[in-house]
Amino acid sequence: MKILVINGPNINMVGIREPDIYGKQDFQALQDSIRQWAEELGVEVELYQSNHEGDLVDAIQKAYFDQIDGIVINPAAYTHTSVAILDALKSVSIPTVEVHLSDIYSRDKFRQFSYTSLAAEKTIAGEGFDGYRHAMEYLIEQYGNA
């Protein structure tokens, strides 16, 4: 099974940005953790991060042609604004879990609506880095580990 983990804008700044909200561990630590969990869970993982909406759309489209089996995505601020990312996820029909480090539902009102969630099977919010592991576990449970 091949899982693509996509992170959107400013996720590369975790550890530096608002540590009270996003934690003190940096982006390298997040990537290392995801790679280690993938190994433990016996799946292939690809990691992608961009600060640009169109690049995220391109990465989602590429996942279709690369025969990715599942997507874990933290679209970050684009969660709340991007019909383009929603449409890209709908275009490829790849099982998707949306992840947020923070609990978007208990933050600003503008963070409480997610376009992406309309194309995601599940949204995990407020679990910090562990949310990515739980998202991968969900995809493996649902779609096997072939």
Active-site amino acid positions: 22, 100
Nearer to ligand DQA, 12 or 139 (CB): 12
β-bridge mates for residue 6, sequence order: 48, 73
Binding mask 14-53 for ligand DQA (x = CB under 6 A): ----------------------------------------
Q: Least distance from C-beta 73 to ligand DQA, angstroms?
A: 10
Nearer to ligand DQA, 15 or 143 (CB): 15
β-bridge mates for residue 122, sequence order: 97
Determine what percent of the chain falls in helix, strand and coil, rounding each to the nearest 5.
50, 20, 30
Residue from 1, 76, 89, 97 in contact with ligand DQA (CB under 6 A): 76
Residue 77 is a binding residue for ligand DQA (CB under 6 A): yes
Place of tokens 């700044």: 13
Q: Are 61 and 92 in contact (CB under 8 A)?
A: yes
DSSP-derived secondary structure for 71-82: EEEE-GGGGGT-
Residue 102 is a binding residue for ligand DQA (CB under 6 A): yes
Residue 100 is a binding residue for ligand DQA (CB under 6 A): yes
